[in-house]
């Protein structure tokens, strides 16, 4: 299998884990980025309601309150609006932090997946190299010559074989990728 | 002495506050490829092989931890706020807690009834 064939096989396969994670469909089939956008919009609208409530209540205290009791009520409204505003700010912070952590995790998963892809691609080229008759003949000739050395062991021969296959596969992959 | 109308408006405002908080809590939830509950987070922490991996799991679980704590605190605050407002209004009108709830419902009905 050449690098191009390996790449073709990968692209024809089912959605990869990283794609599944990136899509992250919930029970209703909604994807996570869309869900996050909807949540941020909802929290943002509550944030605006809180802010408008604070401004309106302060304006009412300054201009609309006729007696002490109404001032008391509008003061209470300021307190509630401020609580809503603070809660919405914290909620927005948590939602965005969650989005950041999710994206970080996705980036890590994608890195590990790229490494797996490269490993699969390289092993495909190595198998292709080993199946070539000329290369096998050269390899055996080289190993026989090495085996005749007085100090050569089985470990030396195995290391030599692996190193030659890896070198040839690297050169072939570099040639195919241009 | 606080008038009944002011009490009713205060309780209505508090009720709207509770509704807004409920809507907010519904939308603040954890999503994406991270642990979503304390149990999942704890399992991921237990399954981590070494300390760098455990620290990474803690980093991944921070939104879960903060979202759960935030929800708990906001729920307690909204319940307390509602109960306190009803109690204060009831004591201001010398009705007691249950009496004030009945009176507030009566006043709300009076405000919103067509006649």
CA angle B73–B74–B78, rounded 5-degree value: 120
> B40 is in which domain, residue-wise?
4-112
On the question of pLDDT at B74 being above 70, the answer is yes
Tell which residue, A120, A7, A23, A76, has the closest CA to residue B12. A76
Out of A43-47, A65-69, A127-131, give the one with best mean pLDDT. Answer: A43-47
Cα B61 to the center of its chain, rounded Å: 23
- Give me the mean pLDDT over the B3-7 stretch: 76
Tell which residue, B112, B93, B114, has the closest CA to residue B103. B93
CA angle A50–A52–A55, rounded 5-degree value: 110
pLDDT band at residue B114 under the 50/70/90 scheme: low
User: Which comes out higher in pLDDT, residue B99 or A11?
Assistant: B99
| pLDDT confidence of residue A78 | 92
CA nearest to A31 within chain B: B32
User: Are B32 and A69 in contact (CB < 8 Å)?
Assistant: no
| pLDDT confidence of residue A26 | 59
pLDDT band at residue A177 under the 50/70/90 scheme: low
* Nearest-neighbour CA in chain A from B32: distance (Å): 5
On the question of pLDDT at B115 being above 70, the answer is no
* Nearest-neighbour CA in chain B from A156: distance (Å): 35
Tokens of A83: 């609580």
Q: How many domains does chain B have?
A: 1
pLDDT band at residue A166 under the 50/70/90 scheme: confident
**Option in B33, B67, B85 nearest A105 (CB):** B33
User: What ipTM was reported for this prediction?
Assistant: 0.75
CA angle A55–A61–A62, rounded 5-degree value: 90
- What SS3 class is residue B115? coil
| pLDDT confidence of residue A84 | 94
Percentage of residues in chain A having pLDDT higher than 70: 77
Tokens of A20: 């599944």
d(CA A150, CA A41): 77
| pLDDT confidence of residue A41 | 93
User: Which comes out higher in pLDDT, residue A117 or A1?
Assistant: A117
Tokens of A24: 């992250």
On the question of pLDDT at A47 being above 90, the answer is yes
| pLDDT confidence of residue A46 | 94
d(CA A27, CA A21): 14
User: Are A76 and B10 in contact (CB < 8 Å)?
Assistant: yes
Tell which residue, A73, A55, A72, has the closest CA to residue B12. A73
For the CA atoms of chain A, what is the radius of gyration? 33
Contact A64, A78 (CB under 8 A): no
Mean pLDDT of chain B: 80
Contact A91, A43 (CB under 8 A): yes
Cα B40 to the center of its chain, rounded Å: 24
**Option in B13, B28, B63 nearest A76 (CB):** B13
pLDDT band at residue B35 under the 50/70/90 scheme: confident
User: Are B59 and A101 in contact (CB < 8 Å)?
Assistant: yes
On the question of pLDDT at B109 being above 80, the answer is no
Contact residues, chain A, for B33 at CB < 8 Å? 21, 24, 102, 105-106, 109
Tokens of B94: 């010398």
| pLDDT confidence of residue A19 | 55
Question: Which residues make beta-bridge pairs with A35?
Answer: none
CA nearest to B7 within chain A: A73
User: Which comes out higher in pLDDT, residue B23 or B2?
Assistant: B23
**Weakest-pLDDT range from A12-21, A90-99, A105-114:** A12-21
Q: Does A77 touch chain B (CB under 8 A)?
A: yes
Tally of CB atoms within 10 A around B89: 25
| pLDDT confidence of residue A82 | 94
Tell which residue, A127, A116, A95, has the closest CA to residue A5. A127
Tokens of A14: 């089912």
- Give me the mean pLDDT over the B14-35 stretch: 85
- Give me the mean pLDDT over the A139-164 stretch: 79
CA nearest to B25 within chain A: A91
Q: Does A23 touch chain B (CB under 8 A)?
A: no
CA angle A24–A28–A34, rounded 5-degree value: 50
């Amino acid at each position: 299998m050449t690098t191009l064939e390996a790449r073709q096989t990968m692209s024809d396969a089912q959605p990869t884990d990283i794609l599944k994670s990136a899509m992250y469909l919930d029970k209703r089939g909604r994807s996570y980025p869309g869900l996050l956008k909807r949540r941020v919009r909802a929290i943002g609208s509550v944030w605006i309601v809180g802010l408008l409530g604070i401004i309106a209540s302060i304006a009412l205290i300054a201009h609309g309150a006729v007696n002490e009791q109404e001032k008391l009520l509008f003061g209470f409204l300021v307190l509630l609006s401020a609580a809503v505003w603070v809660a919405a700010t914290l909620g927005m912070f948590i939602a965005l932090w969650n989005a950041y952590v999710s994206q970080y995790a996705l980036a890590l998963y994608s890195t590990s997946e790229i490494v797996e892809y490269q490993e699969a691609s390289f092993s495909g080229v190595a198998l292709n190299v080993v199946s070539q008759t000329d290369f096998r003949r050269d390899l055996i000739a080289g190993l026989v010559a090495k085996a005749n050395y007085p100090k050569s062991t089985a470990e030396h021969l195995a290391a030599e074989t692996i190193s030659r296959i890896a070198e040839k596969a690297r050169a072939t992959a570099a040639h195919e990728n241009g | 002495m606080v008038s009944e109308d002011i009490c009713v408006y205060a309780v209505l405002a508090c009720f709207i506050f509770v509704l807004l908080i409920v809507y907010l809590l519904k939308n603040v939830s954890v999503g994406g490829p991270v642990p979503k509950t304390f149990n999942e987070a704890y399992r991921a922490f237990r399954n981590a092989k070494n300390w760098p991996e455990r620290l990474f799991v803690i980093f991944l679980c921070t939104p879960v931890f903060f979202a759960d704590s935030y929800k708990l605190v906001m729920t307690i605050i909204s319940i307390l706020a509602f109960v306190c407002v009803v109690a204060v209004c009831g004591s201001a009108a010398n009705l007691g807690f249950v009496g004030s709830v009945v009176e507030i419902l009566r006043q709300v009905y009076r405000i919103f009834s067509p006649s």
